[in-house]
Structure 1
């Protein structure tokens, strides 16, 4: 799941605001690149780097990665079992493990990493220094920063909790109140919402409504601006199928998916368009794409101009949907001679919209894989590069940069979180 609001005006503001800071970090590697084109691609590797702990954070120079993906190497690699691991263990009394998702705040000066060990880490994106490490309990699958930069919303799958974290990036303060900022979603379970474990929450542009996909299917829409937070609308598992982890607002429409990887849905590929006009009283969903008869698994999603790009993790391709018509207009095959099973996952787009970067899973996926289907099993872990054409209607695959974490002759690296720092 990517940071999922993509408008040209917002990109322009983000580039203008953070371009100089990014240039300071990467200018020596950029050669003749100008300030406006400088950006970074951040990628997590979920495999252990300590004793049942850690993981890697790889940071690429975006222009170099886009130009020559096969030879690109990270400009920075951080072992999360090192100083950051110690920082989190001191703060929470337990080690970090499985860095699963990462997102940047709107100003691009902070990154939020969520760990399946239950940690949410707030880190200065320029200095790469940790500022706060909070425990969300047994698990946290994703922590999404609201566009207004006042909150991050987190999903605890294991304990069926939806959590609001208050964020003050300028003051470097991050906190939540277990009594006021945590909602138990178990209260919403029933015959048509049999498992309300939250998967991937996302807010729309106003930062008021959070759309929370559920492991057993269905959707809960939360008003995150009230205390306590309030569920204002719901859909059941007939309207939204299980375990969606992809979402992006394009124009006035929110797009989400349902996907595979869980016993309830080893394989599943559905893309929905949500009509927001009825909020706060109601929400409606229209199924606009499905692949029921195929070996398919919908996971990552990103907006590229007016187009919605949806990754098929099992099918090794990316579907492109026109948001004006909600029709599928093209697809990108990611299989190559070098990598016959890339297993595309989460995605993000370059600031100028010319490239999309996609995480590619490895041969030993640590999360989101049903072994009866092997929906998330790939061949070579790393990050793929896609050249964008026709303003997002078409894409051409350029290749990938591989990552590795070999242990006893076994490739354990497993790509997951990915985000572009503009």
Structure 2
């Protein structure tokens, strides 16, 4: 695959490279399971945003690559230096036959249906099927969602974790919300796997797919309920309904799914239950105090065990929704000065939701520096709406160099130090994961190549780096040896950590490492060793060190674009790992 398997099978010293796009990875601390999983045997699934076809001009607009490694192969890689090989998606799980091409997993001849009537189009007729932004395993540990973030695409799929075959595929609703009308930034399973909640970023909609299972947990239907949709913008109008794609998958099995219901005008209205604008500017008098909510592009709806969705938005502020009602309903609202914008990391520990804030994904983010962290007591919400800004969030941490952006009111207006390692003073909080015990919260800094660690009980903050052998600045780190060799001017040993997730045995954190041509958030995400970083936790989870890199690679893609604040890469590597998740076997 990709003409790289022979090279990648060679033993590597120091860093054990196995070829190779999350919460935002986003983690849920407690899930219901109908089986006893083997904590020591699992698969690592990586989401590569690069194009899986050649000759494409745009970044991450056609296809994508799913990288899957077996934990046994990972342990062998660490012990022997022989690179772990990616598994196939043909049902055989053969190592060395991966990665899996999204254009194969979801055949291009799948037929499009609108409210269960064919539109006459196929998946191959439509734009934006690409940019694999992330995948997350369901609470039953059987399926994974597939989130495609290409501009204007708005696709979300479901894959069987054991057979690696497509089960369902949908396209989100198009609205007049912003820009390309619809996109799926990420989606998240609810607490028991009975629903999938979609962050329709440009559509400014929280949407819901209801999941129907048999007694063994097998998905037998997936129902996109338009009536459940909750708008968070202003003056909202539906331009194009949600769609479902039906036909045979690559395993010659039928996909499931349907679209039902009608969009509820009340759920798309401008005001929150308190009478304030959901998004600033809906009227002249009703913006929320303390900054309001300037731009409600939905980033990541973090789902609690009580099935409350913490809807983080681009320019700051927060809306909390009850996902069980139809339509889904707002039960909490916060302004941008209390909860800063562009957060995507979130976990729940002991009934408290941890949320972060980072830099904007837009061009404005190139001069922003943001690392903020908050907790909110999830048990303080009920089915009735809370008053605005209640309960008050706890500010766990705000970096002293935060710029005055996305709701933050202190600091300089801009930070123009770019993202070159060792030169930049910028920060960007993004991925977050809790240790299995829940005692420690690890949060990535995409620009500084660090992990900030917070004790969930005392809120004490420490840190470790991903560039040294021991995480404390001593010795050459794993990313250095795994760095791309075809451009001598590209800064090496630059992990650019993004979304992450803990191994079920509590031994490791797996973190997505970005590439030299990052498909998204290029001003914060250029890296030199694309793939999945393997962090061995130390000090009972309070610290860690990077011990290996499951290296991904894609030289099929040929799209080129400038990278803000960093090196204009001249080589051929296009792999860009954005997310990682774990499936227990």
Match of 2:583 in 1: 421
Instruction: Name the CA distance, whole Å, in 2 between partners of 1:359 and 1:106.
Output: 21
* Change in 2 beyond 3 A, CA 1:194/1:66: farther
* Change in 2 beyond 3 A, CA 1:185/1:66: farther
Matches within 5 A, 1:14-413: 17=35, 19=37, 36-50=39-53, 52-68=61-77, 71-76=83-88, 77-86=99-108, 93=123, 94=126, 96-116=129-149, 117-137=153-173, 138-169=182-213, 170-186=218-234, 187=270, 188-190=278-280, 192-207=292-307, 209-260=308-359, 261-265=361-365, 266-280=368-382, 281=386, 282-293=390-401, 294-304=425-435, 305=437, 306-334=439-467, 336=477, 337-338=480-481, 339=483, 340-369=493-522, 374-406=523-555, 407=557, 409-413=571-575
* Change in 2 beyond 3 A, CA 1:290/1:263: farther
The question of whether the paired residues in 2 share the 8 Å contact of 1:309 and 1:318 is answered with yes
Cα distance, 1:75 vs structure 2: 2.4
Q: What are the superposed Cα offsets for residues 314-370 of structure 1, whole Å, 9 maximum, x if unpaired?
A: 11011111000112134243453334211000101111100111000001111123x
Instruction: Name the CA distance, whole Å, in 2 between partners of 1:171 and 1:385.
Output: 32
Q: SS in structure 2 opposite 1:68?
A: helix
Q: SS in structure 1 opposite 2:532?
A: strand
Instruction: Name the CA distance, whole Å, in 1 between partners of 2:209 and 2:462.
Output: 39
* Change in 2 beyond 3 A, CA 1:292/1:262: farther
* Change in 2 beyond 3 A, CA 1:88/1:46: farther
Instruction: Name the CA distance, whole Å, in 2 between partners of 1:295 and 1:86.
Output: 42
Instruction: Name the CA distance, whole Å, in 2 between partners of 1:121 and 1:87.
Output: 15
Cα distance, 1:277 vs structure 2: 3.8
Comparing 318-327 and 162-171, the one that deviates more: 162-171
Q: SS in structure 2 opposite 1:179?
A: helix
The question of whether the paired residues in 1 share the 8 Å contact of 2:432 and 2:443 is answered with yes
Structure with the larger helix share = 1
Q: What are the superposed Cα offsets for residues 46-94 of structure 1, whole Å, 9 maximum, x if unpaired?
A: 1111354100001001232245256222123211122414265656643
Match of 1:24 in 2: none
Instruction: Name the CA distance, whole Å, in 1 between partners of 2:554 and 2:539.
Output: 37
Instruction: Name the CA distance, whole Å, in 2 between partners of 1:109 and 1:351.
Output: 15
Match of 1:6 in 2: 29
Instruction: Name the CA distance, whole Å, in 2 between partners of 1:221 and 1:389.
Output: 35
TM, length-normalised to structure 2: 0.64
* Change in 2 beyond 3 A, CA 1:128/1:241: same
The question of whether the paired residues in 1 share the 8 Å contact of 2:26 and 2:431 is answered with no
Instruction: Point out where structure 2 has 5 or more consecutive residues left out of the alignment.
Output: 1-23, 89-98, 114-121, 174-181, 235-269, 271-277, 281-290, 402-424, 469-476, 484-492, 559-570
Q: Report the RMSD for the aligned CA atoms in angstroms.
A: 2.1
* Change in 2 beyond 3 A, CA 1:87/1:323: farther
Instruction: Point out where structure 1 has 5 or more consecutive residues left out of the alignment.
Output: 20-34
* Change in 2 beyond 3 A, CA 1:83/1:249: closer
Structure with the larger strand share = 1
Instruction: Name the CA distance, whole Å, in 2 between partners of 1:108 and 1:286.
Output: 33
The question of whether the paired residues in 2 share the 8 Å contact of 1:356 and 1:386 is answered with yes
Cα distance, 1:161 vs structure 2: 1.2
The question of whether the paired residues in 2 share the 8 Å contact of 1:183 and 1:229 is answered with no
Match of 1:30 in 2: none
The question of whether the paired residues in 2 share the 8 Å contact of 1:164 and 1:182 is answered with no
Q: What are the superposed Cα offsets for residues 137-193 of structure 1, whole Å, 9 maximum, x if unpaired?
A: 421001100111111111111121111111124342112222333434333111520
The question of whether the paired residues in 2 share the 8 Å contact of 1:18 and 1:109 is answered with no
* Change in 2 beyond 3 A, CA 1:296/1:85: farther
Q: What are the superposed Cα offsets for residues 24-51 of structure 1, whole Å, 9 maximum, x if unpaired?
A: xxxxxxxxxxx55210000011111135
Instruction: Name the CA distance, whole Å, in 1 between partners of 2:72 and 2:162.
Output: 18
The question of whether the paired residues in 1 share the 8 Å contact of 2:228 and 2:325 is answered with no
Comparing 304-313 and 172-181, the one that deviates more: 172-181
* Change in 2 beyond 3 A, CA 1:291/1:128: same
Q: Based on CA coordinates, which of the two structures has the bigger radius of gyration?
A: 2
Match of 1:32 in 2: none
Instruction: Name the CA distance, whole Å, in 2 between partners of 1:3 and 1:87.
Output: 32
